[in-house]
């Protein structure tokens, strides 16, 4: 029986690390696609040479076109450019809109039954582009952000309390940006409410650090941005679908009335399994969280409108 196939578009730090995590977990054969000649081939060969050391046996290939991506079950799209000095937000959105639209057309032509996991920024807007261009059902197009933002939040809580990360149950909803909403009211440590374990001041500090989580890493790296955790988040989504895990995780999903929102991609809890987004879960929010979610939605809707799609 043929192994499943994951295509990763974009062989930069995030894309190559997606290929690394997916291959090491033996989820599927991996195709790494990039426009730069030699780069995806070189990174794929390097990963293949790691197989005897770590004992994984999937195939990893690099390509500059989409022929090798045919019949992929999952396509992770990381392609796009980061915002450069002097570049307006509008320029960034339009450039990445064109890149994601072109990539989506090409992967869908080769893999019409694939699930699309979008990592390109601005994330919620790029999900909207992929959804509109692909013509896929909303169950099959999703964005990686909620899992990453939640991982950062859980990490900071575990560091603060000096407990195992597995004991921290938490979720971050909303758009992938400074307006994201960590749900403090639903956060527990092995079932104990976070509010019973740490002061409101420290909780507020962890929430703020979560919101600025990506920026903190950019400031430390000086050039470039985070890639280990973003790639791990995208691969967890791929694994949930390929292995039909029915995981309850926050992803950027297309809403048609849920949470009072329509026609936009937004971070909400879903059940992720073999059917893709099998169910969107409505969770109870405090009044403050509801207001913050609405503020985040306005920001996401404004970016969607800039796409003019």
For the segment 46-66, the average pLDDT, to the nearest whole number, is 97
For the segment 149-177, the average pLDDT, to the nearest whole number, is 97
Give Cβ neighbours of residue 173 (< 8 Å, ≥ 6 apart). Answer: 146, 180, 181, 183, 250, 266, 267, 268, 269, 283, 293, 296
Residues designated catalytic: 176
Query: Residue 174 gets which letter from DSSP?
Result: B
Label residue 270 by pLDDT band (50, 70, 90): very high
Domain 5-143 carries which CATH code? 3.40.50.720
Residue 86: its pLDDT value, please?
A: 76
pLDDT of 75 above 90: yes
pLDDT of 87 above 80: no
Domain 146-307, classified CATH 3.90.110.10, yes or no: yes
Look up the pTM and report it: 0.97
Q: Each residue of 177-229: pLDDT tens digit?
A: 889 999 999 999 999 999 999 999 999 999 999 999 999 999 999 888 999 99
Label residue 90 by pLDDT band (50, 70, 90): confident
Domain boundaries, the chain: 5-143, 146-307
According to DSSP, the β-strands at 115-118 and 247-256 are unpaired
Q: For residues 177 and 31, which has the higher predicted lDDT (pLDDT)?
A: 31
pLDDT of 13 above 90: yes
């Amino acid at each position: 029986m043929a192994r499943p196939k994951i295509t990763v578009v974009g062989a930069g730090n995030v894309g190559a690390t997606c290929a690394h995590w997916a291959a090491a977990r033996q989820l599927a054969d991996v195709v790494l696609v990039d426009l730069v000649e030699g780069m995806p081939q070189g990174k794929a060969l390097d990963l293949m040479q790691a197989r005897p050391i770590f004992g994984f046996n999937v195939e990893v290939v690099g390509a500059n076109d989409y022929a090798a991506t045919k019949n992929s079950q999952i396509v992770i799209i990381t392609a796009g450019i980061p915002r450069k000095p002097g570049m307006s937000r509008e320029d960034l959105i339009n450039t990445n809109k064109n890149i994601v639209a072109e990539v989506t057309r090409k992967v869908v032509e080769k893999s019409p039954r694939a699930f699309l996991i979008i990592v390109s920024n601005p994330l919620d807007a790029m999900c909207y582009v992929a959804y509109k261009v692909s013509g896929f059902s909303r169950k099959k197009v999703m964005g990686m952000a909620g899992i990453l933002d939640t991982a950062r939040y859980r990490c900071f809580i575990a560091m603060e309390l000096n407990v195992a990360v597995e004991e921290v149950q938490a979720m971050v909803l909303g758009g992938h940006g400074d307006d994201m909403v960590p749900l403090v009211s639903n956060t527990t440590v092995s079932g104990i409410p976070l509010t019973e374990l740490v002061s409101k001041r420290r909780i507020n500090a962890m929430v703020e650090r979560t919101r600025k989580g990506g920026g903190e890493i950019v400031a430390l790296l000086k050039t470039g941005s985070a890639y280990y955790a973003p790639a791990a988040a995208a691969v967890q989504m791929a694994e949930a679908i390929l292995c039909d895990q029915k995981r309850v995780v926050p992803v950027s999903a297309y809403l048609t009335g849920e949470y009072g929102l329509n026609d936009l991609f937004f971070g909400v809890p879903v059940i992720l399994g073999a059917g893709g987004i099998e169910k969107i879960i409505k969770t109870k929010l405090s009044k403050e969280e509801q207001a913050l979610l609405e503020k985040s939605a306005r920001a996401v809707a404004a970016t969607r409108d800039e796409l003019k799609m």
